[in-house]
């Protein structure tokens, strides 16, 4: 018997998103990633005595925008609080965050797993400052003789988005993360560069006996920054907790860390409670009052979000799968929409965008942002097929040539003489030749062997290097053979 028969998985995720502002949340230092250590700093973000923070309005704008995109209620009154703890990457010994009155509350997003739709609740989203980074002399903290600290990241604005414990499988968690990141990306809240730590997840997992109403005790694994780590971490935690429970033991409520190399989680510290942090209102910042006008102004800047985009594409005839693929990648979706402005058949367009063009881009390790074929040029190619000037088969070689040379489809077709032969007189001449050279197939066909016709069509296509209009060839052949 495996845990899968016995226990149900319960998971809630806290997601930290670095917001896309030019400057930090309480000072004018740049938020740029990297840079020489301790060069993106000033007395404010270093927490020197006597300085005062000034809230960056753009941070509030982005937090409101994210809240609206996640269907949250935006609080007309919220405030900042100090979360007190000591760690070398936190120069002030407290993090300015939001505690009991966050800016966003009560949102939701929809996921789809194996065609099954489900709503995942968003408990809250609040603004806070990022901490610095420890720089170890060795590979890990335990194998290092010394560690330095880089405060460049200190004070970079974060939005912490907390989900309800609504997820019941690893697939649901991954679907939630994917949807959340797409929304954040489309709304322009973050650059979403996961490899640079722009988005980090804390995964809370617990198990409970199937059928039980009560949640089990959870562990929280901090700071995962890839889907793959989330999946592996959850697999490990589920096995670890199931074994503990199977032996009659108890899961300890604690904070754990993920060891990517070993593929295991390790206990970091026993779970701290809110009161351990001695939260109190930040005395150096005024409470934040947001009126309806401000919220409405931000609402107007919201672009079409992923779920709405998928619905629109499906209403144009795309399959759920194709809509999902196109929307999952913003540059591809932008390309698609630009082409759609000048080409009405969304399904044909989707086939070429997700098929041939994606394939060519992948093969060159390139992306839609740098596609040598513009949306307008792809439309040019598709219109040639529509007008019957080239066949779909010829178009597949034309698109390759377009990709390599950047030339328009029409130019390539003209230069290489690839235009489809739809001239009946010309086709008749070729067909007459094929008929007299293949007396046996002709006789077979006339004796009732239908498949012989396919062979004869093939001969005509061969003679014209695939350029004959297949519909016409069929028609003329049949007519000639029944003469």
List interacting residues with ligand ADP (CB under 6 A): 10-14, 162-165, 204-206, 215-216, 218, 220
CB of 205 to ligand ADP, least distance (A): 6
> What is the H or E stretch that residue 78 is in?
strand 77-78
Please give the radius of gyration of the chain, using alpha carbons only, rounded to the nearest integer.
31
Report long-range pairs for 471-474 (Cβ below 8 Å, ≥24 apart).
472/422, 472/424, 472/427, 473/427, 473/431
Contact in structure between 355 and 363 (CB atoms under 8 Å): no
Q: Pick one of Zn ion, ligand ADP, none as the site partner of residue 157 (Cβ within 5 to 8 A by kind).
A: none
- CA 60: distance to chain centroid? 24
Cα 188–Cα 194–Cα 196 angle in degrees, nearest 5: 105
CB of 168 to ligand ADP, least distance (A): 10
CB of 200 to ligand ADP, least distance (A): 14
Measured from the CB atom, the residue of 9 and 385 that comes closer to ligand ADP is 9
Q: Pick one of Zn ion, ligand ADP, none as the site partner of residue 337 (Cβ within 5 to 8 A by kind).
A: none
Output the CA torsion sign for 342, 344, 347, 351: negative
Q: Pick one of Zn ion, ligand ADP, none as the site partner of residue 42 (Cβ within 5 to 8 A by kind).
A: Zn ion
Angle between helices 57-69 and 292-300 (to 10 degrees): 70
Measured from the CB atom, the residue of 175 and 205 that comes closer to ligand ADP is 205
Instruction: Report in angstroms the alpha-carbon separations of 148 from 37, 138, 139, 352.
Output: 10, 11, 13, 51
- CA 140: distance to chain centroid? 30
CB of 110 to ligand ADP, least distance (A): 17
CB of 166 to ligand ADP, least distance (A): 7
Measured from the CB atom, the residue of 128 and 220 that comes closer to ligand ADP is 220
Measured from the CB atom, the residue of 54 and 252 that comes closer to Zn ion is 54
Measured from the CB atom, the residue of 171 and 444 that comes closer to ligand ADP is 171
Q: Pick one of ligand ADP, Zn ion, none as the site partner of residue 27 (Cβ within 5 to 8 A by kind).
A: Zn ion
CB of 217 to ligand ADP, least distance (A): 7
Task: Report the C-alpha gap between 183 and 189 in whole angstroms.
Answer: 9
Task: Report the C-alpha gap between 276 and 255 in whole angstroms.
Answer: 14
Q: Using CB under 5 A as the criterion, what x/- string covers residues 26-55 for binding Zn ion?
A: -x-x------------x-xx----------
The secondary structure of residue 143, as a DSSP letter, is G
CB of 42 to Zn ion, least distance (A): 3
For 371, phi then psi, to 5°, come to -60, 125
156 binds Zn ion (CB under 5 A): no
**Under the rule (CB under 5 A), what is the footprint of Zn ion?**
27, 29, 42, 44-45
């Amino acid at each position: 018997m495996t845990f899968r028969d016995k226990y149900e998985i319960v998971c809630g995720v806290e997601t930290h998103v670095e917001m896309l502002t030019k400057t930090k949340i309480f000072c004018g230092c740049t938020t740029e990633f990297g840079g020489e250590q301790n060069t993106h700093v000033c007395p404010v973000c270093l927490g020197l005595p006597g300085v005062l923070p000034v809230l960056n309005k753009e941070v509030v704008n982005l937090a409101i925008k994210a809240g609206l995109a996640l269907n949250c209620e935006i609080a007309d009154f919220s405030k900042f609080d100090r979360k007190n703890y000591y760690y070398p990457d936190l120069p002030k010994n407290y993090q300015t965050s939001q505690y009991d009155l966050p800016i966003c509350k009560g949102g939701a997003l929809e996921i789809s797993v194996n065609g099954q739709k489900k709503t995942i609740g968003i408990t809250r989203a609040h603004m806070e400052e990022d901490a610095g980074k420890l720089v170890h002399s060795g590979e890990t903290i335990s194998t290092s003789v010394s560690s330095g600290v880089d405060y460049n990241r200190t004070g970079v604005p974060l939005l912490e988005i907390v989900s309800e414990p609504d997820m019941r499988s690893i697939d649901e968690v991954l679907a939630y993360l994917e949807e959340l990141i797409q929304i954040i990306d489309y709304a322009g809240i973050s650059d979403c560069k996961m490899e640079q730590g722009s988005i980090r997840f804390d995964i809370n997992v617990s198990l409970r006996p199937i059928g039980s109403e009560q949640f089990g005790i959870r562990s929280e694994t901090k700071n995962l920054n890839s889907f793959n780590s989330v999946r592996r971490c959850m697999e490990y935690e589920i096995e670890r907790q199931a074994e503990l429970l199977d032996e009659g033991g108890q899961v300890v409520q604690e904070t754990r860390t993920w060891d990517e190399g070993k593929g295991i989680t390790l206990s970091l510290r026993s779970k701290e409670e809110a009161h351990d942090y001695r939260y109190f209102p930040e005395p150096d910042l005024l409470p934040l009052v947001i009126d309806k006008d401000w919220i409405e102004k931000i609402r107007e800047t919201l672009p079409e979000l992923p779920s709405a985009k998928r619905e629109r594409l499906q209403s144009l005839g795309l399959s759920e799968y194709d809509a999902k693929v196109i929307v999952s990648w913003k540059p591809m979706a932008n390309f698609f929409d630009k082409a759609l402005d000048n080409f009405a058949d969304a399904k044909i367009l989707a086939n070429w965008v997700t098929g041939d063009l994606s394939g060519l881009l992948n093969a060159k390790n390139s992306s839609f942002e740098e596609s040598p074929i513009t949306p307008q040029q792809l439309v040019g190619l598709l219109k040639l097929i529509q007008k019957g000037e080239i066949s779909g088969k010829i178009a597949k070689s034309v698109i390759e040539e377009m990709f390599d040379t950047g030339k328009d489809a029409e130019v390539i077709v003209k230069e290489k003489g690839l235009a489809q032969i739809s001239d009946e007189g010309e086709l008749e001449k070729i067909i007459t030749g094929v008929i007299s050279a293949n007396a046996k197939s002709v006789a077979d066909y006339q004796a009732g062997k239908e498949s012989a016709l396919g062979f004869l069509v093939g001969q005509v296509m061969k003679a014209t290097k695939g350029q004959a209009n297949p519909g016409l060839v069929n028609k003329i052949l049949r007519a000639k053979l029944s003469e």
